[in-house]
Structure 1
Amino acid sequence: MPSDGDGAEDTVPSMLWGLDPLHGVFAKLYIKDILQLDNSQHVPGVFFYKTHPISKVDILGTIVQKREREKLFSFGVDDGTGVISCVLWKKRRPMEGPKPVASPTIGLNLQEQLSRITMLEQHTSQLELGDTVQVRGWLRDYRDQREISCTSLSKVADPVFTAQISRMLQLPHLYRTFYDQTFQLTTDSTEPNDQRVRILSLQRKIKQFLNQNGVKNFYQQELETINSLAFIAQQDPVSPCVQHPPQPSQEPLTSACASRQIHEGFQVAVGALQEEGVVFQKVAGPKELYLVTDEDKELRSLTLGVIRDDSRRPKYVDKGCPFLHILSCVQHGYSAGVNEATMQRVLDRLESDSQIVSTMERYYMAS
């Protein structure tokens, strides 16, 4: 395998990989290139195409191999450049017990939901050799073999090969415009690289602090009082505010300047976390309360309720509820401060907890 991955890791620190747009998306690559991606030496689950860190991929190909095991389906998918194994884990079923009785007040029929999951699994198991499928999932190496752990695998009903032709035209453009271009950090004269690194470090530390302490909500001013975080937010000694040795009479001015630097650093870092969907606000404003997305049970419960109710409507009973419909319902019923990144984070959490399933790209129904 080529050694571009090692060079990329040496050139770009791992905390800056998120600046590369390819790191957070399902990269559409040829299977031949996926099989040749370099492993990250420091971060498991991250691979490199030239200088780009990649963890998720999107492929379109033909099933040339199929196996079913106790806990998973395994499909060999061929796109004409190579064959890769795609693993789809079966949903866990609860232990057998007394048949649940539907509650007229709740309106939830567990037997019906279990039957729906069974039908989805049967549909997946009915994929046959020669079927064209679109696969999205996380890359991993298992027993020295590269494979895709599927988040979605769907059959493409395309008798005139429209999807294949579209992918054939799209991939060369993506390679030429994005993948083959070197990932470089742009330097802005008004925001030096060391300041950008400091903000990214602060952003990462805030996420760690929220996660480790189980913080459900906070005001930005509260974070600014935490010394370990405030120290990162402070600019270096050569910044314009403190580049000259302070005189005794200037001490209050220096202190005010440092406080302003800390406040501005937190403002940028928390804003980035908001765009990432880690935190959100019911009421917008720098002095308003921030809520931690992963800890907001009310938001998760409301989202699940929308999917459960609306996936029964004739309009959505086959495919499930589309992402934008769910987002619109949550914004009207809970808060307009819930953006797409926040909504996607909630949906991913519900899916990982097996409370919903994605029937196709950005369509969901209750499990």
Structure 2
Amino acid sequence: MENGNNNALALQNTHVKLLAFDLLSLTQFPFRSPDAATSFFRRGIQISRVETLGTVTLRHLKPERLLRFAIDDGTGCVPCVLWLNDANSPSVVRRRRHELAARFVEVVKFGAVARVRGRLSRYKGGVQVTVSDVVTERDPNAEIFHLLDCIRLISSSLRDGERDESLRP
């Protein structure tokens, strides 16, 4: 089981590729209050950052505040939020992040295929991705390759001794 513990530590700061179906079914802990810091778990392993890929099916811009959008990969829709209100921050890092966010707004167009990376967060009791990076995919095979990567990663984790409760008879 030591290998499983090493894998768990390795995933804490890694963008884990997940399908919407898996992402939306993550276990949240603690359940006690909406304000509390939330940890997300997949099959007993803590996950804080994810990567997903799909078609932008919803886009709602609140200028100078945020961009809400959804990514549909065929297994479900992942809610995403991109914060835009760091422009007036005295921090150079935040100002640069704001400049990047402004560019990301241009990338997120309705119907575009986009790859999104970010940190998991809670919103209205559900999981969402707080976006740190988004790019448009131009490769027509990107979606199927992402799907196959996710399936391969699930299969390899099951072979490594991780139990999948959903597959039990």
SS of corresponding position for 1:24: coil
Q: Which protein has the larger Cα radius of gyration, Structure 1 or Structure 2?
A: 1
Is 1:20 matched with 2:9?
Answer: yes
Q: CA RMSD in A?
A: 3.0
- Within the candidate set 99, 119, 127, 1:146 is matched to 127
SS of corresponding position for 2:149: helix
Residue 29 (structure 1) shift: 1.1
Kept in 2: contact 1:73–1:125 (CA 8 A): no
Aligned to 1:47: 40
Q: Deviations over 1:71-123 (max 9, x none)?
A: 1111111010000111111152249xxxxxxxxxxxxxxxxx99x938x6155
2:27 partner letter = D
Residue 126 (structure 1) shift: 5.3
Residue 27 (structure 1) shift: 1.0
SS of corresponding position for 2:12: helix
Distance 1:146 1:40 in 2: 12
Distance 2:15 2:122 in 1: 17
1:23 partner letter = Q
Residue 37 (structure 1) shift: 0.8
Shift in CA distance, 37/65, structure 1 to aligned 2, threshold 3 Å: same
Kept in 2: contact 1:52–1:179 (CA 8 A): no
Shift in CA distance, 92/157, structure 1 to aligned 2, threshold 3 Å: same
SS of corresponding position for 1:138: strand
Kept in 1: contact 2:107–2:134 (CA 8 A): no
Aligned to 1:58: 51
Q: TM-score, normalised by structure 1?
A: 0.36
Task: Name the one with the larger helix percent.
Answer: 1
Identical positions, percent: 24
1:31 partner letter = A
Kept in 2: contact 1:17–1:53 (CA 8 A): no
Aligned to 2:105: 124
Shift in CA distance, 94/52, structure 1 to aligned 2, threshold 3 Å: closer
Structure 2 residues not aligned, in runs of 5+: 90-94, 164-169
Aligned to 1:175: 154
Residue 153 (structure 1) shift: 1.2
SS of corresponding position for 2:87: coil
In the TM superposition, what are the counterparts of 1:58-97 in structure 2 within 5 Å?
58-70=51-63, 71-94=65-88
Q: Which has the higher contact order (CA 8 A, sep 6+)?
A: 2
SS of corresponding position for 1:44: coil
Kept in 2: contact 1:135–1:152 (CA 8 A): yes
Residue 129 (structure 1) shift: 1.2
Aligned to 2:145: 166
Kept in 1: contact 2:73–2:143 (CA 8 A): no
1:45 partner letter = T
Distance 1:94 1:44 in 2: 26
Task: Name the one with the larger strand percent.
Answer: 2
In the TM superposition, what are the counterparts of 1:299-338 in structure 2 within 5 Å?
none
Residue 23 (structure 1) shift: 2.4
2:109 partner letter = E
Residue 59 (structure 1) shift: 0.3
Kept in 2: contact 1:49–1:179 (CA 8 A): no
2:30 partner letter = Q
Distance 2:162 2:11 in 1: 12
Distance 2:41 2:86 in 1: 33
Structure 1 residues not aligned, in runs of 5+: 1-15, 96-112, 184-367
Residue 44 (structure 1) shift: 2.7
**Count of aligned positions:** 147
Shift in CA distance, 123/55, structure 1 to aligned 2, threshold 3 Å: closer
